[in-house]
Amino acid sequence: MILAIDGPAASGKGTLAKRLAAHFGLPHLDTGLLYRGVAMALLDRGDALSDEAAAERAAQVLAPALLDDPRLRERAMGEAASVVAAQPRVRAALIAFQRAFAATPGGAVLDGRDIGTVICPEADVKLFVTASPEVRAMRRALELRTRGQPADEAEILADIRIRDARDAGRADAPLRAAPDAELLDTSDLSIDEVFTKALALIAPAI
């Protein structure tokens, strides 16, 4: 069973994906980490984020082991990731790894922006997880503070709006619900409620 979970930044898709993976005993890939990893490699080497050839090389040699680096979760890395993620050669270089992960015998859970539309159009279940920008900014601020990082909610909201516009506006694999995706608005739901709703949406497919 392949579960494709897409949605904008801080919509709750990562939390949901992790929980569903644990529930069904499936491996989980947070594909945002791949783009964050490419951005981090460029920043570490002093290469420009706009250097598509350098970004493509970084994507080609990205070692999955690097995806544990805590710096990947920093706010600035999400912003940098969305810049490199708009480059078609970077996206192309990351497709094979994601499809191989999805092909794990028994199935897998992948979350990102284009899983249901580009990476796994044949997924058994596609969920498109959304929430209002204000709710997402509040959640992201809370998450950062919990990790001891500073968080200005107004700044985070501005970042979220910029990132949404860049992710939805790019030509290659824009953030978009697949036509056959189930929409799940989490604005007024607790984590438990989101999980319960997701299970109900998945039930017919299993």
157 in Cβ contact with 138 (< 8 Å): no
Axis crossing angle, helix 32-45 with helix 52-60, rounded to the nearest 10 = 120
Q: Does the protein bind ligand C5P through residue 32 (CB under 6 A)? A: yes
Which H, E and C letters describe 56-106, residue by residue? HHHHHCCCHHHHHCHHHHCHHHHHHHHHHCCCHHHHHHHHHHHHHHHCCCC
Stretch of 47-55, 107-115, 124-132, 195-203 contacting ligand C5P, by CB under 6 A: 107-115
What is the side-by-side strand order in the sheet with 182-185? 28-30, 108-112, 2-6, 125-130, 182-185
Binding test (CB under 6 A) with ligand C5P, winner from 9, 58, 120, 131: 9
Q: Does the protein bind ligand C5P through residue 81 (CB under 6 A)? A: yes
- Residue written as token pair 């979970």: 5
Q: Does the protein bind ligand C5P through residue 102 (CB under 6 A)? A: no
Residue 112, annotated as binding a ligand:
no
82 in Cβ contact with 168 (< 8 Å): no
Q: Does the protein bind ligand C5P through residue 75 (CB under 6 A)? A: no
Q: Does the protein bind ligand C5P through residue 114 (CB under 6 A)? A: yes
Calpha distance 109→29 (Å, rounded): 6
- Pick from 111, 121, 115, 120: which is nearest to 20 by CA? 111
Smallest gap, in angstroms, from Cβ of residue 52 to ligand C5P? 14
List Cα–Cα distances, 180 to 60, 96, 117, 118, in angstroms: 31, 23, 9, 13
Residue 8, annotated as binding a ligand:
yes
Q: Does the protein bind ligand C5P through residue 7 (CB under 6 A)? A: no
Q: Does the protein bind ligand C5P through residue 87 (CB under 6 A)? A: no
Smallest gap, in angstroms, from Cβ of residue 124 to ligand C5P? 18
Q: Does the protein bind ligand C5P through residue 107 (CB under 6 A)? A: no
Q: Does the protein bind ligand C5P through residue 78 (CB under 6 A)? A: yes
Residue 117, annotated as binding a ligand:
no
Total residues at the site for ligand C5P (CB under 6 A)?
A: 14
Stretch of 51-59, 75-83, 130-138, 186-194 contacting ligand C5P, by CB under 6 A: 75-83
Interface residues toward ligand C5P, by CB under 6 A? 9, 31-32, 35-36, 78, 81-82, 85, 112-114, 163, 167
